[in-house]
Amino acid sequence: MQKKMVPLGCLLLAVACNQPEKQPSTEKITYPQTKKVDTTDVYFGAEVKDPYRWLEDDRSEETAQWVKAQNEVTFGYLKKIPYREVIQKKLEKIWNYEKIGAPFKEGDYTYYYKNDGLQNQSVLYRKDKDGKEEVFLNPNEFSKDGTTSLGGLSFSKDGSLLAYLISEGGSDWRKLIVIKTQTKEVVGDTLVDIKFSGASWNGNDGFYYSSYDKPKGSELSAKTDTHKLYYHKLGTAQKDDKLIFGGTPEQKYRYVSGEISDDGKFLFISGANSTSGNKLFVKDLSKPNSDFVSITETFDNDTQVIDSKGGKLFLITNLNAPNKRLVSVDASNPKPANWKDIIAETENVLSVSLAGDYFFAKYIVDAVSKVKQYDYEGKLIREVALPGVGSAGGFSAKKEDTDAYFSFTNYNTPSKIYKIDLKSGNYDLYWEPKIDFNSDNYESKQVFYTSKDGTKVPMIITYKKGTPLNGKNPTILYGYGGFNISLTPSFSVSNAVWLDNGGVYAVANLRGGGEYGKKWHDAGTKMQKQNVFDDFIAAAEYLIAQKYTSSEHLAIHGGSNGGLLVGATMTQRPDLMKVALPAVGVLDMLRYHTFTAGAGWAYDYGKADDSKEMFEYLKAYSPVHNVKEGIQYPATMVTTGDHDDRVVPAHSYKFAAELQSKQSGNNPVLIRIETNAGHGAGTPVSKIIEQAADMQAFILWNVGVTELK
């Protein structure tokens, strides 16, 4: 799963709107009738009813009509909010600035992404050695409505060939196209049905890629279970691609990836059955018919190859190092017993990138970045003095490069790009955005609050300087809390507008995330998952106790696993917040593993068929199964995409149906279903802005803002 959703901000506009006679939130909404079908499952002798099971059929006309009817109610409600359109125009105005990505060299060209401002998809440009600029790939021309996006790039080592992936309608299923970079001439046929994979080139002969057999039934929701690694030789048909790994029972894994070493000597294969833990193999390509050799043989660790040099492998691992370490080992005998520390484990979580002849160790220290530069012997060259307190990314370059680029951002600083000299460590500002936002007017404060069991949890609260702590500030509390994902400070236009108009934006670094390594992650998994919800509840209580906000002015938001977080929190503590926004959420915890690659999330969640205890634990917090009659739930707008094949929309459909059926009082329960859209990646800018405007308008309207000043 992917955590990253578009950050949600809210907006208080310096305009006056006429107050309508009655707020939509005080009106009784007539929801579409959602039929109930007598469907019952039995888990360890316990019967569980599932009356909305029919909504899982994403190909039925009946489901399509339900989606249409729900959207009519939702957009009918949103249209009654008088400042909704003004919010959207304001977002468009602020969003409309040029955005540039860090450049990277491939062959004779320097490539970089650029977006003029409101382009639906960023465009890939390039410059030749004389500085002549041209458009290289323009995803905005892939489809008329901007819903086909660029899903990944892989250049051959000499830069003469490019394999690029496209995603249609936000799907995880991709198509792959090969072109000659000099002429942009297409080479061979388009490859299809590729999923959770890039392309790893073997010289200019061909490349390795991974995919699943196309499932029977709906490709958007049917289970995908066995990932396989193939080799595609240029100029041949995809049906003739050679199966490299995954064709035997011993090689059955849910996630398989293959990557060739920079020198072309080794093929590394990772096999995993969950999003945490993998086995790692190496094959010596210089020896014909060589076998795969195990590097790690159990799933109790995450280990990846960072580089190989002179027959020595460099691996980053959390084996016997929960916060990770960088080790080296001879490729001829790569077992863990032979590993040697290059960068030892510390109290802070480590990630590593390569630039020139150096390793850049990037640490997370209480959710913010710290960066150190090492040589291949593990000697510390320097600590990089970052431009401020926030998140630094990048520090990647080819071995022959003498400089690299990195980005820096935080909640109130738009992302800037810096160019660093690898030898001296000196860096200069390469690019900064020209955006109408003055960072000096805002501040971020990190606090540590106490969760239910006494655990200290960090949270960063961002607001305009001088904001009164009077308990009346509209506040968004955002969280994720899963899959070893770390929420580090980053800038968004939506949040900028929210802050500019007096809103408070808080991000809690919950257990289940990766901010403090494997132990922090594991403390929010399986039968400790309730810790995550308790951490989020405690964050809300802290914001209220410190008078940043109150329950009547608080909105909670999260996407994917964060959608589960919001769904569980609002059903456990409906009194705590006024607005809830669960986005593309995992909401049916008894059946999540039966869809697409959902079974791969079992490391975090466990499965209902694992044991009676696991079933009972999941059912106790599963949002779909914990909506009760007679409870007034917060004003809720569930959001999803009808083509989401990561977290299928049936989760959201069933949760919305339960809430609409059982809601007490007049707080609205809406579901906003984006058509021809997936889990979030590649979403066109126009749709992102529309979604943000609708969510912002919904929050403001339901925390009582009838006239914006």
Catalytic residues: 560, 679
CB half-sphere exposure, 645, CA atoms < 13 A: 22
Instruction: Give the angle 609-615-620 at the CA atoms, nearest 5°.
Output: 155
Rounded (to 5) percent helix, strand, coil in the chain? 20, 35, 45
Of 113, 204, 92, 210, the residue nearest 159 (C-alpha): 204
350: tokens are 């480590």
Q: Are 197 and 257 in contact (CB under 8 A)?
A: yes
How many C-beta neighbours within 10 Å does residue 233 have? 14
How far is it, in rounded angstroms, from Cα 232 to Cα 196?
Answer: 16
Q: Cα 274 vs. chain centroid, distance in angstroms?
A: 16
The DSSP result for 654-678, as a single string, is HHHHHHHHHB-SS--EEEEEETT--
450: tokens are 């106490």
Q: Going by C-beta distance under 8 Å and a sequence separation of 6 or more, which residues neighbour residue 304?
A: 270, 278, 280, 315, 316, 317
The H helix count followed by the E strand count for the chain is: 10, 39
Alpha-carbon separation of residue 639 from 140, 150, 446, 647 (angstroms): 25, 23, 29, 12
Of 607, 504, 597, 514, the residue nearest 557 (C-alpha): 504
How far is it, in rounded angstroms, from Cα 567 to Cα 481?
Answer: 13
Alpha-carbon separation of residue 683 from 122, 316, 557, 677, 688 (angstroms): 11, 32, 19, 7, 7
How far is it, in rounded angstroms, from Cα 252 to Cα 414?
Answer: 44
613: tokens are 């205890």
How far is it, in rounded angstroms, from Cα 360 to Cα 374?
Answer: 6
Instruction: Report phi then psi at 647, rounded to 5.
Output: -110, 100
Q: Are 354 and 396 in contact (CB under 8 A)?
A: yes
Beta strands in 485-644 (DSSP E): 504-508, 554-559, 579-583, 635-641
Q: Are 670 and 637 in contact (CB under 8 A)?
A: yes
How far is it, in rounded angstroms, from Cα 80 to Cα 84?
Answer: 8
Sign (positive or negative) of CA dihedral 68, 72, 75, 78:
negative
In the three-class reduction of DSSP (H, G, I as helix; E, B as strand; rest coil), residue 70 is classed as helix
One-letter amino acid for residue 219 of the chain: E
39: tokens are 């469907």
Beta strands in 203-265 (DSSP E): 206-212, 227-233, 242-245, 255-260
